[in-house]
Amino acid sequence: MWTLIATEAALFGYLIFSYLYLYAQYTGRWPPEGLPKLGTAGINTGVLLSSSVFVWLCEHFVKRRRSRLAAAAMSVGILLGGLFVGLQMKEYHDHHYGPSTHLYGSLYYTITGFHMLHVIVGLCVLIFLLICTGLNYFDDRRHSALTIGGMYWHFVDIVWLFIFSTLYLSPYVL
């Protein structure tokens, strides 16, 4: 698992490197559409972070053998994850540029797209875990699948923090 996370982290690291490299070399206005709006994305960051909390809670409850609560926590986590996807889709929809409009668009859509893909995979994993939790498959001794799945979800979250800082915050300060 750690190997997977390491190589995925490297992948996002390189994505961000590409962004910063191209940005540093760019001569025109950056981003071409003006500074990014922080509203939706800011909310989304909160949504994703809190979903992480609930996934963590789920594991916590499982360890305490409170499987009902655990399942509930996981459901909330998943719902929040879904909300994130929804909000991000709205964000895509609201942009009047696409991946081929300009360089910034290419970077923006590729980076967030990669992340989105990971969120979706993560959600599938979480749903699978929810089913297992619901079926009382886990208990205080047997929950490593939850730990691993949770770890992945937290990882996806942390990556978002980096992406958020790079894509949304850095244009304000750099």
Site for other proteins in 25-64 (CB under 8 A): 25-28
From candidates 54, 61, 84, 152, binder to other proteins by CB under 8 A: 152
Q: Which of 69, 71, 76 is nearest to 53 (CA)?
A: 76
Instruction: Based on the shown chain and the rule CB under 8 A, indicate whether residue 14 belongs to the binding site for other proteins.
Output: yes
Cα distances from 137 to residues 80, 86, 100, 126, 156, in angstroms, run: 23, 30, 47, 14, 25
Q: How far is the CB of 61 from other proteins (least distance, A)?
A: 19
Instruction: Based on the shown chain and the rule CB under 8 A, indicate whether residue 103 belongs to the binding site for other proteins.
Output: yes
Q: Which is nearer to other proteins, 17 or 90 (CB)?
A: 17
Angle between helices 144-163 and 39-63 (to 10 degrees): 160
Instruction: Based on the shown chain and the rule CB under 8 A, indicate whether residue 20 belongs to the binding site for other proteins.
Output: no
Contact stretch for other proteins (CB under 8 A) within 14-22, 56-64, 68-76, 157-165:
14-22
Q: Which is nearer to other proteins, 4 or 89 (CB)?
A: 4
Instruction: Based on the shown chain and the rule CB under 8 A, indicate whether residue 2 belongs to the binding site for other proteins.
Output: yes
Quickly list DSSP for 79-132: HHHHHHHHHHHHHHHH-S--TTTSHHHHHHHHHHHHHHHHHHHHHHHHHHHHHH
